[in-house]
Amino acid sequence: MITQIDNLDQQKVSKKSKKQKNTLRQLRRAFVKLWASHRKRKAEKIALHQLMHLDDSLLKDMGLSRDELVSIQSGTLTFDSMVKQKILSNRDQACSTASVRE
């Protein structure tokens, strides 16, 4: 009888520790995602800051306008949405055809 009670107690502890381990794994995953998101935002902020210091002719050569940078800075446009809208890929395509012509 005592061994059965001990076995039940061990099973309860085992289930509890599994739940705790799962919770810790979930917390770790959430932290990793949060940290990656933070690093991405920081990198985008640095890139935007560097782009804002370029003159308009250089921005135009890269296929960007100051208005787009201001939109990114204000939060109405993101780097990701620019890629999704193929703004950057169109720029790259235009640059490659321009270099072929030269």
Whether residues 40 and 82 fall in one domain: no
- Annotate 49-70 with DSSP letters as a single string: HHHHTS-HHHHHHTT--HHHHH
Residue tagged 């001990």 (tokens) = 6
Whether residues 12 and 32 fall in one domain: yes
Q: Range of 73's domain?
A: 55-102
Whether residues 83 and 94 fall in one domain: yes
Whether residues 5 and 37 fall in one domain: yes
Last residue of a domain, one of 53, 70, 89: 53
Residue 4 has pLDDT above 80, yes or no: no
Last residue of a domain, one of 53, 68, 91: 53
Number of domains in the chain: 2
Answer whether 0.75 is exceeded by the pTM.
no
pLDDT digits (tens, 9 = 90+) for 30-69: 999 999 999 988 988 898 889 889 999 988 888 788 888 8
Whether residues 48 and 71 fall in one domain: no
- Percentage of residues in the chain having pLDDT higher than 70: 68
Per-residue pLDDT band for 27 (boundaries 50, 70, 90) equals very high
Question: What pLDDT is recorded for position 53?
Answer: 92
Identify which has the larger pLDDT, 78 or 46. 46
Identify which has the larger pLDDT, 100 or 59. 59
